[in-house]
Structure formats: structure tokens, C-alpha cells
């Protein structure tokens, strides 16, 4: 399997009464809650954690894009990727992903990813996401155009990477007289494209069609298996190929300690912080109008009940990876086999978990878990055939 | 309800438009706001005693799909140019409420020849003096608190015996259709320079306690429209026809009947 280290870079001082005071830790929580002096030290620690993952042999480190919130302080994931480019040596840098539907100028994403790919000697994985609902408020993009913008921005970026410029792009949402990205990406035909998603049927089909590795986050294991089975079925029956484990990622919170009790106690307050404060998102911010189809909206409503609380994200989908090295190693392999994933994305830092705790767990993971994991190199992820 | 109301479906250049039609008299085109697309209200019923009221649903409302060609308010304005041609409605009085008021303004700015008289009710469109509250980010109850002065004057989802899930999904669809027009901004910065094209008799009606767009905004809108009259209804919120149907219908009826055949 491939090992990815997944990081959100959360703000660790969201007030306990964030919902009452600000409704949400997204969009409306004032940025005076953020302390730039403390932020400097925090970025340094978070970056150290990712650099350490590279040193101990992770296949990739992951960064991602979120705006105007305390959940993840990487509004520009490509800046963090640029920093990691100079500080990591072997690990791929997986940007999971750029919120391309949120961009007024997605050509900028094509340029930045190409730059990063050349600078790193081809170590970039390029995830593309629509961005979560709240971000359509933050960046003032009409959510009813989200999916159309995502698809057009994707088509534009891939064409910019793969076809000689200059060419003109005359789309519904974007238009350019001259598309001619300098530099071009190093990896051919282009850096691998990953699709992180919450399991909408439209995205599963689209990812399967393009053979893009698909990663479902925060999703309970039985549901996740249904999504991945659907991807495999579509690949086989509609798109004429067999989707292997290298096309599926599985994400989980992970924490290793000498005893299970110690591990559970170490994680509990930070997982709670994540659920209650980082994920303080009322339904109308998570699902703004038109962000999802009315069919998907109805399924979501039926699942949680009218007026019911928003489902908390499932950080431990599957057998919980919080325990002793033996427990975590065994459960990790079990979970990967259950859902047929070849890429493990471990979230070692969660919520307000401090640096020292994260490092203790990662060091123990490096010493006692990682050497026993089946690390046979999976085949390279299949990239787009779009030319 | 007194008027004989029928629901008809009109094909406007390939777009299916459900339309309520009721009453008898000269034509009146009713352009609804971001909600209330498919119910016949007491205000419409009162107007139907003097007019034939045509109340079409905007594209994306009343269970119709949101067409790709809807990109901004102008597309809806020209959709109503086509609607008038399709239905052969001859120079109706156009009444636009809130979002519908913006569409009505835009229609009348572009094609003043098609509108006999114009009634703008707590209309969007003109740039507000200060930022408008964002209804999209509010919990439904909070949004209702901004829209209405007091409890919402319509039944909650499911109270009429329908499936509440269906109503909530319908609301989600209609909000998406409204978002297409008003998410980025719920006004058109170019509109102010164009308002002088409104040469038809125009009445601006506003709720005195409108918390979305204060009455002062309504007065300014009327000032910018040549010869427009403004009526502020004390103690009434944003959705005047629902909160004060009788006073509203009386104002519209008197104004529109006096205007028929007047200058355009």
C-alpha cells in the first residue's frame, strides 16, 4: 500500500461556544480569533510534521484548500506545497485539492501546479475539488453553477497541460484568447489527478470515467464500500476497465501509543474539538442552494431527518486506528482490504492536538507500525487519457 | 377564494411555464418573488375582481428545471418579453414583488412599450445604500424573521397535508433558481442609470418595516423613476402582498385602473 500523511492545519483556539457566538467556525467567525503571531509557530510545527512524514518514508504528504475558517488554515494549498517542495525530498506532494470551481481564473491553477511539478522534479499529485458549501459564501461564487464550473475548469486545466499552446478557450464560465501555460508540467501527460469527494453519485461516475483515483473522506465504512463498489462497477460495465486498489484512497484519524487506553485518552479531547468546533457548520452553509442536486439533497434530508442535526464527520470510518502499534497495524490492513483501497491517508494531527503529541504518535508509528506494513509499490496511478 | 383560477402550462420558446390565471378584466402580469411561485394568494384574488391576473412561475420555480440559459436577471426579463408574445397579452399592468420587482424593472427598462403600468413592491434591483442581509446564510427561521413582520402568514411545511419533505426540497430548488440571479449580488449596479427609461405610470409600494430593504430605499427608487409615486405601508414587512393583502390590492387596483391607456 501507499502511505499518505493527511493534514488540515486547523486553528487550535476556536472558542468552545463558537456555534452560539458565531453560528459557525466558517465564514462568520471573525478573523480576530486568528492570532498571526501564534500562527507563525503553528505553521512551523505543522510543516515539521509533514517533513517528518517524508523522512520516515511516507509516499506522500497531503495539503488542501479551505477558506475563511478555523477548520483548515490553507486557503492557498499551492503556497504550502511550494514550502514543502523545498523541505521534502522523496515524498510526493498531494494537493487534495485545489478548489477549481471556486476560482475566477482556473488557468492560474494550471500554471501553479505546472511550476510545482517542475520544481519538485515531478512529485506533484493534483487533486481537484468543488470546495465545500461554505466556501461559496466566502468567495461569493453562485453554488448553483458549482458542478458546471468544476467540469469546465477541469477540462481547461487538463487541456492547458496536454495540448500545445497557444490555443483559445471559449467556454460557458471561462474564456481565454491565449492559453499557453509556461512552464509545462514535468510528469506526462500531466500530474496525477485525484478526486476527493463526499460520495455524490455524479462525482463517482465522473471520476470512474476519467480513471481518477477517488478518495471519500469522513464516510462510515459500509457506505464507503458502497461508493467504491459503485466506482468499480461503473469502471467494469460502462467504461471497460478494471479499477485496481491504486484508484482508491482511504482516510482515517490515526493515533498510536503504548497502550490502547493511553491512545484513546490522548485523542478524545482533540477529536471532540474537531467535531464540535472545526466542523461547526449549519446545514444551510454546508449545502447552499444548488450546490447539490435536489435528489442528493433529499437523500441527505432523509438520512438525518427534517430539522435533525448535521451528521458529524466520521473520523474513524472502519476499525478505529487508535491504539497500540499492533492494533493499529492490523486494523489498518483490515480496513484497506475491506474497501479495496491501495492508498492510506492518515490524519495524525486532529483539531487542537499539540505538536508534541502528534510527534510521539508519528515516531511510534515509524518505529513499530510502518516497518510491518505491506509496502509493495502499487502500480502508478492511472492518469487521464484526455489528450 | 372567489376568483375562478386555472392552472395552465405555457411553452415559452421551449421552456415550460406553469401559470395561474384568474379573474376578469384587463391583463395584469404578476411576477413573484423568490418564494410563492405556485400558490394563489388573497392579494391575487382581490386583484382578480378587476383584472385577469396572470401569475407565471419563473424558470426553475414550481418544480420546473432551472435552465442553463438563465445566467442573470436579463435572461428572465427577456423571457418575459417572450412570454408576453406567446400569450398575446397586450400591454399588461406588470406587478413585481421583491425578486420579481427586479425582473419587472428590467423588463420595463428594456421594453417600456410592452408595459402599460408598473407596480414595484419591495423590489430588488437598485443598489442598496447599505449591504442587504444575506438570507442564504441564515437558518430558515431567522430568514423568516427578516422577511416578515411577525409570524409568517403562510402555513409551515406539511401543514396543508402535503409531504413536508417535498416542500423542503422544492424550497431548496427555488432557492437555487433565486441564487442564479441574486447570489453574487442582489442588485444591478447599472440599473440606476437606466431607470429614466421607465416612462410608464409607475407605483412603488413598500413595507414601512421592511428589514431586508428599508422603506428609505423604496423612496429613493421612486425618486429615480420619472413621475413615480410611492406608498409606504406602516407596520408591514418585506412581503407586502402576504402581510397586507387588502390595502395592497386596493392601491394596485386604483392605480392600475387609472393608468390604463395612459402614456407609455
A380, pLDDT greater than 70: no
B159 vs B74: CA distance, rounded Å: 36
**What pLDDT is attached to residue B43?**
96
Query: What nine digits make up the cell of A196?
Result: 476527493
**What pLDDT is attached to residue B261?**
63
CB contacts, 8 Å: B137 with chain A: 27-28, 137, 284-285
Kindly list the structural domains of chain A, giving each domain's residue range(s) and its CATH number in brackets, ordered by start. 2-372 (3.20.20.30)
Over residues B78-88, mean pLDDT: 98
Mutating which of A133, A141, A142, A143 best tests the B interface, going by the most B Cβ atoms within 10 A? A142
Sequence-ordered strand ranges (E) for chain B: 5-12, 15-23, 27-31, 52-56, 93-97, 117-121, 202-207, 229-233
User: Residue B149 carries which DSSP code?
Assistant: S
B72 vs A200: CA distance, rounded Å: 27
**What pLDDT is attached to residue A350?**
97
- Inter-chain contact B176–A143, Cβ cutoff 8 Å? yes
As a three-state string, the secondary structure of A107-154 is HHHHHHHHHHHHHCCCCEEEEEECCCHHHHHHCCCCHHHHHHHHHHHH
B192 vs B223: CA distance, rounded Å: 11
- Inter-chain contact A301–B173, Cβ cutoff 8 Å? no
Over residues A73-92, mean pLDDT: 98
CB contacts, 8 Å: A145 with chain B: 180
H or E segment at A9?
A: none
- Parse chain B into domains and list their residue ranges: 5-259
Please name the fold of domain B5-259.
Rossmann fold (3.40.50)
Quick: pLDDT tens for B160-204: 778 889 989 999 999 999 999 999 999 999 999 999 999 999 999
A356 vs A361: CA distance, rounded Å: 9
Nearest residue on chain B to A281, alpha-carbon basis? B137
Paired with A125 in beta bridges are A94
CB contacts, 8 Å: A144 with chain B: 66, 176-177, 179-180, 183
This model of the complex carries an ipTM of: 0.94
Closest CB from A142, A282, A287 relative to B180 = A142
Quick: pLDDT tens for B218-256: 999 999 999 999 999 999 999 999 999 999 999 999 999
Q: Which residues of B touch A (CB under 8 A)?
A: 66, 68, 134, 136-140, 157, 164-165, 168-169, 172-173, 175-180, 183-184
Amino acid at each position: 500500500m501507499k502511505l499518505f500523511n493527511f493534514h488540515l492545519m486547523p486553528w487550535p483556539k476556536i472558542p468552545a461556544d463558537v456555534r452560539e457566538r458565531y453560528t459557525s467556525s466558517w465564514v462568520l467567525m471573525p478573523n480576530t480569533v486568528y492570532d498571526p503571531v501564534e500562527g507563525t509557530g503553528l505553521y512551523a510545527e505543522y510543516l515539521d510534521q509533514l517533513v517528518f512524514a517524508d523522512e520516515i518514508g511516507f509516499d506522500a504528504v497531503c495539503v488542501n484548500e479551505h477558506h475563511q475558517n478555523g477548520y483548515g488554515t490553507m486557503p492557498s494549498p499551492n503556497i504550502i506545497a511550494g514550502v514543502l517542495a523545498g523541505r521534502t525530498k522523496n515524498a510526493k506532494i498531494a494537493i487534495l485539492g485545489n478548489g477549481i470551481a471556486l476560482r475566477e481564473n482556473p488557468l492560474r491553477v494550471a500554471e501553479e501546479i505546472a511550476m510545482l511539478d517542475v520544481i519538485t522534479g515531478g512529485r506533484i499529485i493534483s487533486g481537484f475539488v468543488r470546495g465545500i458549501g461554505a466556501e461559496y459564501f466566502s468567495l461569493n461564487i453562485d453554488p448553483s453553477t458549482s458542478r458546471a464550473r468544476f467540469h469546465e475548469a477541469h477540462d481547461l486545466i487538463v487541456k492547458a497541460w496536454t495540448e500545445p499552446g497557444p490555443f483559445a478557450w471559449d467556454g460557458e464560465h471561462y474564456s481565454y484568447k491565449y492559453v499557453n501555460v509556461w512552464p509545462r508540467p514535468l510528469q506526462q501527460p500531466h500530474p496525477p489527478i485525484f478526486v476527493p469527494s463526499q460520495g455524490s453519485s455524479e462525482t463517482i461516475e465522473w471520476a470512474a470515467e476519467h480513471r481518477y483515483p477517488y478518495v471519500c473522506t469522513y464516510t462510515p465504512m459500509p457506505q464507503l464500500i458502497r461508493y467504491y463498489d459503485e466506482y468499480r462497477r461503473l469502471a467494469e460495465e460502462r467504461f471497460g476497465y478494471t479499477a485496481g486498489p491504486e484508484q482508491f484512497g482511504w482516510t482515517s484519524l490515526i493515533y498510536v501509543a503504548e497502550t490502547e487506553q493511553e491512545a484513546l485518552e490522548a485523542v478524545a479531547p482533540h477529536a471532540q474539538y474537531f467535531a464540535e468546533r472545526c466542523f461547526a457548520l449549519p446545514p444551510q452553509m454546508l449545502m447552499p442552494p444548488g450546490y447539490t442536486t435536489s435528489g442528493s439533497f433529499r437523500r441527505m434530508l432523509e438520512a438525518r431527518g427534517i430539522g435533525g442535526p448535521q451528521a458529524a464527520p466520521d473520523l474513524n470510518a472502519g476499525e478505529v486506528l487508535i491504539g497500540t502499534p499492533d492494533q493499529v497495524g492490523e486494523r489498518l490492513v483490515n480496513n484497506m482490504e475491506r474497501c479495496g483501497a491501495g492508498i492510506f491517508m492518515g490524519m495524525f494531527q486532529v483539531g487542537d492536538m499539540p505538536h508534541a503529541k502528534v510527534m510521539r504518535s508519528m515516531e511510534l508509528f515509524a518505529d513499530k507500525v510502518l516497518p510491518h506494513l505491506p509496502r509493495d509499490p502499487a502500480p502508478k496511478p492511472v492518469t487521464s487519457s484526455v489528450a | 377564494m372567489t376568483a375562478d383560477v386555472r392552472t395552465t402550462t405555457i411553452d415559452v420558446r421551449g421552456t415550460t411555464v406553469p401559470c395561474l390565471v384568474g379573474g376578469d378584466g384587463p391583463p395584469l402580469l404578476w411576477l413573484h418573488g423568490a418564494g410563492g411561485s405556485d400558490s394563489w394568494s388573497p392579494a391575487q384574488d382581490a386583484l382578480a375582481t378587476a383584472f385577469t391576473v396572470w401569475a407565471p412561475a419563473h424558470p426553475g420555480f414550481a418544480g420546473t428545471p432551472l435552465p442553463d440559459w438563465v445566467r442573470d436577471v436579463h435572461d428572465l426579463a427577456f423571457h418575459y418579453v417572450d412570454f408576453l408574445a406567446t400569450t398575446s397579452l397586450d400591454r399588461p399592468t406588470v406587478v413585481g414583488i421583491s425578486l420579481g420587482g427586479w425582473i419587472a424593472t428590467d423588463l420595463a427598462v428594456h421594453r417600456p412599450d410592452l408595459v402599460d403600468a408598473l407596480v414595484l413592491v419591495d423590489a430588488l434591483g437598485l443598489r442598496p445604500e447599505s449591504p442587504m442581509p444575506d438570507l442564504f446564510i441564515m437558518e430558515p427561521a431567522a430568514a423568516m424573521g427578516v422577511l416578515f413582520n411577525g409570524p409568517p402568514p403562510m402555513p409551515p411545511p406539511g401543514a396543508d397535508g402535503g409531504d413536508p419533505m417535498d416542500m423542503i426540497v422544492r424550497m431548496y430548488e427555488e432557492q437555487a433558481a433565486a441564487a442564479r440571479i441574486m447570489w453574487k449580488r442582489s442588485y444591478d449596479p447599472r440599473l440606476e442609470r437606466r431607470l429614466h427609461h421607465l416612462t410608464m405610470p409607475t407605483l412603488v409600494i413598500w413595507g414601512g418595516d421592511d428589514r431586508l430593504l428599508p422603506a428609505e430605499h423604496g423612496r429613493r427608487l421612486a425618486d429615480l423613476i420619472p413621475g413615480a409615486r410611492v406608498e409606504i405601508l406602516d407596520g408591514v414587512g418585506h412581503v407586502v402582498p402576504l402581510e397586507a393583502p387588502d390595502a395592497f390590492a386596493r392601491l394596485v387596483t386604483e392605480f392600475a385602473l387609472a393608468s390604463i391607456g395612459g402614456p407609455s
